[in-house]
Amino acid sequence: MADHLIRVVSADGMFRGVAAVTTDLVRTVCETQQTDLTATIALGRLLTGGALLSSLLKGEQRLALAVEGNGPVGKISVEADANGKIRGNIRNPITNLPPAGDHFDVAGAVGRAGFLHVWKDLGLKKPYQSMVQLQSSEIAEDIAYYLAESEQTPSAIGVGVQVNSSGTIVCAAGFLVQSLPPADEDLINSLESNVKKLGSVTDFIHQGKTPQDVLDILFGSIPHRTLFKQALRYQCSCSQNKMQKALLTLTKEDLIKLKEEKTNGVEVRCEFCANVYVFNQSALQKIIEKL
């Protein structure tokens, strides 16, 4: 099944939901980042969360999520836009944390103390920025807490990555359901009950079900309609020009020193896709002159 998401809304407009399959996306990003199993689960969950939140964007809007705790992975970052283009990276891809019983120790990898940072480019003069403390460091609960605290939108969210006995990613998926005021309390209780009935979203998708099937179960008897289907894909937005802008953040003195030390040119590596951009002596001189 190709990666995609489905977004629906209830007939009365009081509930909205989105479900996504992100298997290929998570597999590609984690292979690029060379993550171990626990880091794969952590990064995959945030990638899926970013995909779900991207469904709430429109036009040229973009968002970024960053989980930064005191655990061995350091910082995990995901960027997504309204067109389904997503990328992600992890500072330390090797956690050296084996599975804890029947689950992966994502909270231990992220760390019990830290923050979830959210940045949105909504086409306004200044980007929207928010930060909340990590609640469980399991990713889904932390995103739900952000949505409730910073956006005042009660939400149920589930994200997961399933691997087989050889450590290969076989499924990644997630769902997000939100209630908008003034939502009926009985319907909210019905949705909560349906979330429990669904169980593991990755198990459900791995059985051959679709995101539409996930949403039909979650909404149950609540009338709803599909708003759109969006393809999801990994795509890095790095470029020579963006890397030049990164070099421009250095001081003129630092650039001059760099030019003197790196006589064969400077290589700048993208932290998301690992592409290398080379700036020779002539290019460095032009950057220095710009300063």
Reading the block at residue 278, the tokens are 């080379």
Superfamily for the 4-234 domain = Hsp33 domain (3.55.30.10)
- pLDDT confidence band for 188 (50 / 70 / 90): confident
User: 4-234 and 240-290 share one CATH topology?
Assistant: no
pLDDT, one tens digit per residue, over 143-172 is: 999 999 999 999 999 999 999 888 899 999
Query: Given this model, what pLDDT does residue 186 score?
Result: 86
Distances (CA, A) of 243 to 62, 90, 258, 269: 19, 19, 15, 8
Separation between Cα atoms, residue 137 and residue 113, nearest integer Å: 8
**In the predicted model, what is the mean pLDDT of the chain?**
93
Contact in structure between 43 and 29 (CB atoms under 8 Å) = yes
Sequence spans of domains, the chain = 4-234, 240-290
- pLDDT confidence band for 282 (50 / 70 / 90): confident
Tell me: pLDDT of 101 over 90.
Answer: no
pTM of the prediction?
0.93
Separation between Cα atoms, residue 54 and residue 84, nearest integer Å: 7
Q: Report the DSSP pairing between strands 85-90 and 233-234.
A: parallel
Greater confidence, 62 or 255? 62
- pLDDT confidence band for 134 (50 / 70 / 90): very high
Q: What is the CATH number of domain 240-290?
A: 3.90.1280.10
pLDDT, one tens digit per residue, over 190-204 is: 889 999 989 899 999
Query: Given this model, what pLDDT does residue 139 score?
Result: 97
Mean pLDDT score, 65-84: 97
- State residue 126 phi and psi, 5-degree precision: -125, 145
Greater confidence, 263 or 36? 36
Tell me: pLDDT of 236 over 80.
Answer: yes
Tell me: pLDDT of 104 over 80.
Answer: yes
